Structure 1
């Protein structure tokens, strides 16, 4: 695979002492009407992939207007259904024989929402939070719990972080995943108390100073604060009622002193039915009061939406001011708006600085060509087959939705190398196979198959009979980075025309337009366009976002 490596494009213009850096602040709002390339960049990063029509719709809008659309409230989706009864299984009692089916149905349901989502930030943010507050089917092992948690994630995805952390802490799936249900007075379980600080809020260390943000004694004290919570309804074959319950008798009622990292705060021990909520609120407030907490979350958002690398200039000029904004009230929408409408976000050097995650590659490719998920009730067979295909492709490319390999999430979002980890000798071949399958129409789902109407796509260009304009306009929409002239010439002469003079394309196209039902003329156009698309989807540049 050839092309620009992500790390060679990862530093923004402000990584150097340039005039650009000196003359503007990274967080200044970008207020100019979006060019087509800027609109495409925004939609690629803020959604799971745009269509050409959506790119054209956003072209000419200001980022501020675009964000109003992206952040608009979306209807609550219908819950996933049991394929056998077509009833929402979250309303049913647990069934061991159906558990595997329900787990798959939950994943298919979410992939279907991703595929059918319009120009909204919701699904991209729900995916972010599911990889932040990780729980997995492999551990939780009750599909009803996992659906309930997903509903919680999307409800809070764009809301208040304080409320979010409190609700996640008491979420039945999280109580199961990190053993919060086993945390009782006298025998505290520290799993959730540790991950609450290390992964969910403040982070283990300050990346600038290298100092610890909390101590082991703080983990123990936080665990004592959280004693007494449990879940009810887990794998119950008699009820669909699933909730969190506070058991006052299992709560540690003594005071909980914290270290100097938290200003030697003491959380007062309480007793009675309200003790759990009161102490949990105090714990979260104490953590959110620390400046490093807001920075930790903003850094994760930065890496999700902009770039994996955070040099000192970005830390000081971008992370810090956004963290200060976040700390005001811990509302997510203002931070996301500032991030996605900033001058820095629209820095040309950041386009193509990330490698597409498997979900972005697979879902985004189908979204680009307007393929929608079938109705899961009216066409249950087709829906299940298509979602099973997407689940298999994302899983083999190492992004198994709702089943991360550890509490840390998927490695490319936290480990050294970041997005480059999506590409290896195994996944590269699988990405190419996916491109070949979908562009060739080789994937059937029910009575349908994945097909891309490339002739319709060609007709949307300014002059389909001109191969230069066709290639230039297709590549401008399909790729995050601009191809070189040599690459565009190769696509025309060696891929589209296969050695035939390029002027012959005008004849092939006009002959088809004169008799579009003629099988030979239709096949002449379709075969060349299919070969062109297959090659383009396999290019290194198509892997970049």
Structure 2
């Protein structure tokens, strides 16, 4: 059975982006995994001005991505950050020729406002947004031949899934797609402000039938209501959240229980809490059952090292080198997840950025305080050739590691003079260990 330390570290990795150097020790002292869960779930999740740097398109592609990593790594309410990142992989839009800083910032602000909002409300907002309307060809869609992209993805990826998880029957038909596409017509954009408006002359006001019922002259609100009333609405997103947070497939009983909590409008916070309090959330099977994506590698590393200033880390280069820019998913399905990232290319690509970040602080006394890496400095000050390997693993939140990892880290720490470069290199080695790659 996993140690209490490993369980607490696991809670931090799943409800946030990993523990900082003292989070595991604190969690154990407070009572272990369940206390850590209660702590993270109870933290205030205020909505605020996220202070996106913005700027020109080229500048913002770098600065806004850096700001997102900073928020994910340093925010006190880690659950807010984790769930917002999951939602970013579900309600997907992508930076492009038309979708730029303003649209991406608006989209992220919406997703980050999930605490206190229902999924139905978020979905309604996102579907009407300029970013989503442009990304899925909703702008200018009009009768008699409306574009079907948004209608299809609204059901397939955003709310219902293709089939009922319990029966395997189809959740919708091509006729449903066509009829909902009619209901979603009429949105036009004021290009001077990029504000969306519903233009009556471009909207199909005819009677429509979809998802099993005649809907009359249905529009967007009617579509959202119909989707939320579909039986699979209570299962699809809870299933996604469960897999992301637990790392395993839910049993039918677990999914039915979450469906009850989710309700008719989609209580995101209640489902996240219900998942975290299920016994399998901290089971041995769940621990290290997921693989970090490149963005998660960067964010987790920043948390371990205690990074407080991000502007000098060239995160545009880092994320590009790792083949995952958070604003540029390959398609509407979002980024791949799990084992898709566990391959030689990721390991090789990570070796450069992790060295760059870990050695960004030389350890010299004249390095400005905001550019220092407190964890590496602590490792150097408190460690020795004999103890540095074990201390590095502890500071990185890695417990119950394999004998191979433990032997390799200990051997390197003890292989020469214990100076600042060796301390930094020992930590760098830990951040490339198999146990750190998994989540």
Q: Say whether the fold is shared (TM-score over 0.5).
A: yes
Matched, 1:356 2:292: yes
CA contact (8 A) 1:50 1:119 kept: no
Tell me the residue number matched to 1:422: 341
Of 395, 400, 406 in structure 2, the residue corresponding to residue 482 of structure 1 is 400
> Would the alpha carbon gap of residues 195 and 424 (structure 1) be closer, same or farther in structure 2, given more than 3 Å must change?
same
| Distance change in 2, residues 1:142/1:434 (3 Å) | closer
Which residue number in structure 2 is paired with residue 520 of structure 1? none
Name the structure 1 match of 2:135.
177
Flag the 1:481–1:223 CA change in 2: closer, same or farther, 3 A: farther
Partner residue in 2 for 1:342: 278
Whether 1:456 and 2:378 are equivalent positions in the alignment is yes
Match of 1:21 in 2: none
Mapped partners of 1:542, 1:485: distance in 2: 15
Q: Which residue of 2 aligns with 1:148?
A: 106
Structure 2 CA distance, aligned partners of 1:63 and 1:317?
26
- Provide closer, same or farther for how the CA distance between residues 283 and 340 of structure 1 changes in structure 2, counting only shifts above 3 A: same
- Report what 1:541 is aligned to: 435
Q: 2 CA distance for matches of 1:303 and 1:55? A: 24
Tell me the number of residue pairs that the alignment of Structure 1 and Structure 2 aligns.
Answer: 431
Of residues 482, 496, 510, the one that matches 2:413 is: 496
* Structure 2 residue 184 is matched with structure 1 residue 226: yes
Instruction: Determine if the alignment matches structure 1 residue 211 to structure 2 residue 169.
Output: yes
The residue number in structure 1 matching 2:16 is 47
Task: Find the partner of 1:251 among 203, 217, 237.
Answer: 203
Determine the structure 2 residue equivalent to 1:30: none
The TM-score, its normalising length taken from structure 2, stands at: 0.89
Q: State how far apart, in whole Å, the 1-side matches of 2:112 and 2:63 are.
A: 18
Deviation at 1:82, TM superposition (A): 4.7
TM-score (norm 1): 0.72
Where 1:323 maps in the other structure, the secondary structure is helix
CA contact (8 A) 1:80 1:106 kept: yes
Q: Which residue of 2 aligns with 1:73?
A: 45
Q: Is the 8 A contact 1:175 1:181 kept in 2?
A: yes
Alignment of 1:311-390 (within 5 A): 314-373=250-309, 383=311, 385-386=312-313, 389-390=314-315
Corresponding position of 2:96: 138
Deviation of 1:220 after TM superposition, in Å, equals 0.5
Distance 2:185 2:241 in 1: 31
Q: Is the 8 A contact 1:172 1:230 kept in 2?
A: no
Offset, 1:183: 1.5
Q: 1:199 to 1:487 in 2, by over 3 A?
A: closer
Q: Is the 8 A contact 1:298 1:323 kept in 2?
A: yes
Corresponding position: 1:269 with 2:217: yes
Gaps of 5+ in 1: 1-11, 14-33, 84-97, 271-278, 375-382, 413-418, 501-522
Q: Superposition pairs for residues 442-453 of structure 1, below 5 Å?
A: 451=373, 453=375
Question: Structure 1 residue 199 and structure 2 residue 157: aligned?
Answer: yes
Mapped partners of 2:355, 2:82: distance in 1? 26
